[in-house]
Each structure stands twice: as structure tokens, then as C-alpha cells.
Amino acid sequence: MVSKLRKFCRLGTTDRRLLVKALLLLWLFRIGLYLLPFRTVRRLAGIRPGPPEGRVRPRQFADEFGDTAARAVRQASRCVPGSALCLCQALTVGVLMKRAGLPAQVINGVSKQDGHRLAAHAWVESGGAVIIGGEKMMEFTALPVLNFEGELS
């Protein structure tokens, strides 16, 4: 615990803020997905089906911020029980991307496992680049995309 606190204190202000935001969002999504139907969580988070939206930002900014956000979410997920779920992580990265003014698509995919059991996976894309969850995405068939809309703060 002490080493984690030391690592946190060594981070820059921006990275610390992002890590705290990721931690809070992971908790909210984890609790929300446990207590509420996905449709309600989706509506409360400002997620809607359709084409991606977002302010126009340079591609390099999107790539750098996406990598930083994904890293913060992976680190924060170690502190939230059950948040290793790909859906919690994808929703959190999507909200962080939207807050940064970047388009984010949460993509859910399904796959048949062992011939008859369905498995699901969620990942985030921005401008055609996978931000988080890409390690398993090739095994899944993508369902309709969920995008973030509205101002979140």
C-alpha cells in the first residue's frame, strides 16, 4: 500500500488527476452496472448509438491522451473490486475521452465459446485506433457502436 502511495505521489499533477478521475468513474460504473440496467447506465453516462462525435483535435493528441487514459484506467482497476470487467474499463475510457473533447466509440462484441456458450467483450476506438480492450477484440463479432454525446463534467 505504501509503495502505491509513493508511486501516486511521484506522478505529475495531470496524471494524478486523471488517475483519480479514472478511479471514481470505475467505481461509479461498477456500482451502476451491478445495481441498474445497462440502458439506464448508458443514458446516465451520455452514451448513445450512432456516429462518433467530438471536437476536432490533432490525431497525435488523441493517440497520446488515449494511451494515457487507458493506462490510468488499468492502474485504477487494480483498486476497484470487479472493475477488471472490460465493460467498466471501456465506459470509463470513453467518458475520459469525451471529457477531453475526443470522439470515443464503445464497441461490444460477442462470440460463441465451446460451440454454444456466448461470451462478450467491450473495447474503445477513437479515429479507427483501439484505445483499450484490443487484445481480445479479434475473437468477437462487433455489435452496434455506442458513442458519447453531451457535455460531461
pLDDT tens per residue, range 98-119 = 888 888 888 889 998 877 888 8
Q: Give the separation between CA 82 and CA 63, rounded to whole angstroms.
A: 27
Q: How confident is the model at residue 21 (pLDDT cuts 50, 70, 90)?
A: very high
**Range 18-43 burial, b when 16+ CB lie within 10 A, else e:** bbebbbebbbbbbebbeeeeeeebbe
If pLDDT is split at 50, 70 and 90, which confidence band does 2 have?
low
Distance CA 149, CA 42 (A): 11
Q: What is the crossing angle of helices 86-99 and 59-77, to 10°? A: 140
CA–CA dist 12, 84 (Å, integer): 25
Residue 111: beta bridge partners? 119
pLDDT, mean of residues 115-127: 86
Q: In the predicted model, is pLDDT for residue 36 greater than 90?
A: yes
Q: Is the dihedral of CA 89, 90, 94, 95 positive or negative?
A: negative
- In sequence order, what are the beta bridge partners of 129? 126
Cα separation, 35 vs 29, in Å, equals 10
pLDDT of residue 79: 85
- Amino acid of residue 15: D
- Confidence tier at 149 by pLDDT (50, 70, 90): low
Question: Closest by alpha carbon to 71, among 122, 132, 125?
Answer: 132
